[in-house]
Amino acid sequence: MSGKAENVYAEPGDIGRIQQLVVELPSQAHVRITMKNGSIITGAVTERPAAQLFENAYGAAGMNARVRLDDPTQPAWNVYVWLGDIKRVERLIEN
């Protein structure tokens, strides 16, 4: 068990979605992520996330993953995002 997560996913379709998001978030990719709550986060993936087994506050086990995004123009900025909270990932063109 990798630790605690607010949301864990055990249904095959949900696990498949987490695994697909892992593929869409390769290391060093510049991405725009739209969250399920409508917020948008833009940054560079520091390392491809890995789907792992987590436990929620009620003791239920399931899959989720976190990805860290950095902003190369702001070295002190970074954010961790749970893949289960992502609605869409868009790859951005690097200049």
pLDDT tens for residues 34-45? Answer: 999 999 999 999
Q: Is residue 63 part of a domain?
A: yes
Q: Is the pLDDT of residue 89 over 80?
A: yes
Q: How many domains does the chain have?
A: 1
Q: Is residue 5 part of a domain?
A: no
Domain presence at residue 31: yes
Q: Is residue 55 part of a domain?
A: yes
Q: For position 74, what pLDDT does the model report? A: 86
Task: Say how far apart CA 90 and CA 41 lie, in whole Å.
Answer: 11
95 HSE (CA, 13 A, CB side): 1
Residue 6 lies in a domain: no
Q: Answer whether residue 1 is part of any domain.
A: no
| Alpha-carbon dihedral 40, 45, 51, 53, rounded to 10 degrees | -80
**Domain containing 31 — which CATH number?**
2.30.30.720
In a domain, 3, yes or no: no
In a domain, 49, yes or no: yes
What's the pLDDT at 95?
54
Q: Is the pLDDT of residue 31 over 90?
A: yes
Q: How many CB atoms lie within 10 A of CB 69?
A: 20
Domain span at residue 66 reads 12-91
* pTM for the whole structure: 0.90
What tokens does 16 get? 């498949």
